[in-house]
Amino acid sequence: MTKAKARTTTLLVIATIVAFMMIFSGSANAMTNSMQEVESEIITSVVNHEETIDVSGYELTANELVEIQHDIYYQHPEAFYVDSFNYTTINGQAAKCKPNYTMSKAAAVKSNNKMNKVAGKCKARGSKANRVKKIHNWLIKRTKYDTKASNAQRYNAYGALVNKKAVCMGYAMAFKMIAENNGVEAKVVMNKKGTHAWNIVKIGAKWYNVDVTHDDMGKKASTKKLLVSDKKVGKHTGPKCKKNFKW
């Protein structure tokens, strides 16, 4: 194999997950079946702490692999211990990717168990709207907004759930995890500048915004950004939310 046929590319070495998202803040909503299969395979491999993941059989471009990895950062709170990916291409197609882990497999399993245990404490019942409200209020009571550099987990669900301290990305990741545990489809989204993260949830056939961080910033808990339209929060990377939810 010549150097022209194969090359190794560093996707991006980042200090934090948020830094990555600020650069790649586009939407990952147009995932093909092959891309979804690769994403599932990578997540399984990440859980198993595999060093190298072979994706050469899917005939994906490097850009498509980047989009998949981007979706992993956004939509998989359980993969919080993946800092970045390196990947190789052959003739322009993705061949292998190598996750860079921030902790050992044993530590990752232990951390995820802790996170799942805490997330499982939030039992939301009733309509989906009421479940969303319960999760929103539960997180606000439990979590404190914290930007201290010493809080290395502030960008992920572990920080919000276990350490009880996080920034917007940590709130959003924790909300997604708990929402899905309670049967509510949720996504993490970013504003177009890549400077703020929150969630969208699906109720019926419609999507609505939920910004827990915003509602936790005042002296008292708020519901101003609970199940609202894009007009209330601004443009983001996910499906459009056209109307406020009618209670």
User: What CATH number did the domain enclosing 89 receive?
Assistant: 3.30.1370
pLDDT in tens, 54-105: 999 999 998 899 899 889 998 999 999 999 999 999 988 999 999 999 999 9
- Which structural domain range is residue 184 located in? 125-233
pLDDT in tens, 24-54: 444 444 688 889 999 999 999 999 999 999 9
- Residue 11's identity, in one-letter code, is L
Within this chain, do residues 63 and 155 fall inside the same structural domain, yes or no? no
Within this chain, do residues 86 and 132 fall inside the same structural domain, yes or no? no
The verdict on residue 244 lying in a domain is no
Q: Comparing C-alpha atoms, which of 134, 139, 179 is closest to residue 159?
A: 139
Mean pLDDT, residues 128-153: 94
Q: Where are the beta strands (DSSP E) in 204-241?
A: 206-210, 226-228
The pLDDT mean for the chain works out to 88
Q: CA-CA distance, 147 to 45, in Å (whole number)?
A: 31
Within this chain, do residues 15 and 95 fall inside the same structural domain, yes or no? yes
Q: 207 or 34: which carries more pLDDT confidence?
A: 207
Q: Comparing C-alpha atoms, which of 175, 179, 165 is closest to residue 129?
A: 179
Question: Which pairing describes strands 226-228 and 206-210: parallel, antiparallel, or unpaired?
Answer: antiparallel
Q: Please answer whether residues 210 and 201 qualify as being in contact, where contact means their C-beta atoms are separated by less than 8 angstroms.
A: yes
Residue with tokens 């301290």: 165
pTM of the model: 0.87
- Residue 128's identity, in one-letter code, is K
Within this chain, do residues 161 and 229 fall inside the same structural domain, yes or no? yes
Model confidence at 219, pLDDT cuts 50, 70, 90, reads confident
Within this chain, do residues 50 and 138 fall inside the same structural domain, yes or no? no
R_g over Cα of the chain: 18
* Helix, strand, coil percentages in the chain from 3-state DSSP, rounded to 5: 40, 20, 40
Within this chain, do residues 144 and 91 fall inside the same structural domain, yes or no? no
pLDDT of residue 2 exceeding 50, the answer is no
User: How many domains are there within the chain?
Assistant: 2
The verdict on residue 95 lying in a domain is yes
Within this chain, do residues 86 and 131 fall inside the same structural domain, yes or no? no
